[in-house]
Amino acid sequence: MATDASGKGLLLKADPIADTFRDEVKTSLAQCSRKPTLVGILGTSGAPSRFYAEFTRKQCEELGVRFVLKMVGSAESSEQADGEGVEEAIIEANEDADVDGIMVYYPIYGGQQDHYLQQIVSPLKDVEGLHSKFHYNLYHNIRFIEPKSLTSSVITSTPHIPAKDDIPPPGTVKSILPCTPLGVVKCLEFIGVYNKILTYGDRAYGKTVTVINRSEVVGRPLAALLANDGARVFSVDIDSIQEYTKRPRTSPEATRKYLPHHVSHPSNLSLQECLAISDVVISAVPSAEYKVKTEWLKDGCVAVNIAADKNFEKDVRDKASIYIPAVGKVTILMLLRNLCVFPHHIAHGMVN
């Protein structure tokens, strides 16, 4: 077990992980023909969203990205309702040729109404990776795409070539991944949960992971991403537990049109039983009251908190070998990596 001087598991903050990507972003920004512009749309007066907006501004200023914060709804005036004007602000940013990326500070309404807003953001400017096109690619383990596919409204079943390494084949680029799930994966790569000796796309094989929360913004995409990388994943929500794996119980067909990707099925295990066998436990429950019981954790596991409130008990490091209390600084670097991608596509004539 990795321990600090007190004999407890290691407390690992996101800073050293984020620093590994800072130079990469700086290099990408230096190759842009002009300083890219990121528009943040804040539609509520919620403290977490305001904090994240200010954090985004600070990171952009440090790296040389032009950041424009548009405050609408209750963020602009207490006389306006939450979310009022958000849709219009998204459309205006979509149509503005000087805007390279758009991010919206969720939650606004929650549920389906927020999902609707996510689909209004142009996939050519969706640096958060929340558009259904990117979710489709994630769920189907499609890692590289032709940029022109982002302008089509039709999803096809055209066979895709399996990825052999992290380098896009000629004429393709990486499909954008949701920033928080990708940030968590980068944290797990940093601490060695991913095995670099294994084949690309299968480097989490042999690991069992529990993800608590199955929202479409974080929990479900993260569970699918980990399963597509080879892990056995328990996806836990308030009323059910599902198991995700890309290794089906039956033999796959000799030939198949779709890439191997995660499948889900109900699990009969309880949360306590899932935690007892999990090498990694990730919690994203938006509640200050919710806590993962330390006594249920597997000795030497990795615990990752990605909720605004701490989901683990104070003694989590008595069982966890590594505890990562927040991933926000890595998430914002993932977002800025995505921002660098879109101007690159357009500058090279890959997207009209």
Q: Which two tokens stand for residue 290?
A: 């919710």
At residue 194, the pLDDT reads 96
C-alpha distances in angstroms, 212 versus 223, 233, 311, 336?
Answer: 9, 10, 10, 26
At residue 150, the pLDDT reads 81
Q: Which of 60, 179, 187, 301 is catalytic?
A: 179
Q: How many CB atoms lie within 10 A of CB 300?
A: 13
At residue 1, the pLDDT reads 44
What CA–CA distance (Å, rounded) separates 331 from 52?
Answer: 11
All residue ranges of the chain with pLDDT < 50 are 1, 249-250, 252-255, 350, 352
At residue 173, the pLDDT reads 82
At residue 223, the pLDDT reads 96
Q: Which two tokens stand for residue 47?
A: 């403290």
What CA–CA distance (Å, rounded) separates 71 from 166?
Answer: 38
At residue 168, the pLDDT reads 80
At residue 352, the pLDDT reads 47
- What pLDDT, in 10s, does the model give residues 71-125? 999 999 999 999 999 999 999 999 999 999 999 999 999 888 999 999 999 999 9
pTM over 0.95: no
At residue 344, the pLDDT reads 58
Q: Which two tokens stand for residue 296?
A: 């249920």
Is 179 one of the annotated active-site residues of the chain? yes
Residue type, 10: L
Q: Which two tokens stand for residue 60?
A: 């952009």
Label residue 52 left, alpha or beta by phi (over 0 means left) and psi (-120 to 50 means alpha): alpha
Place of tokens 């991944």: 177
At residue 345, the pLDDT reads 61
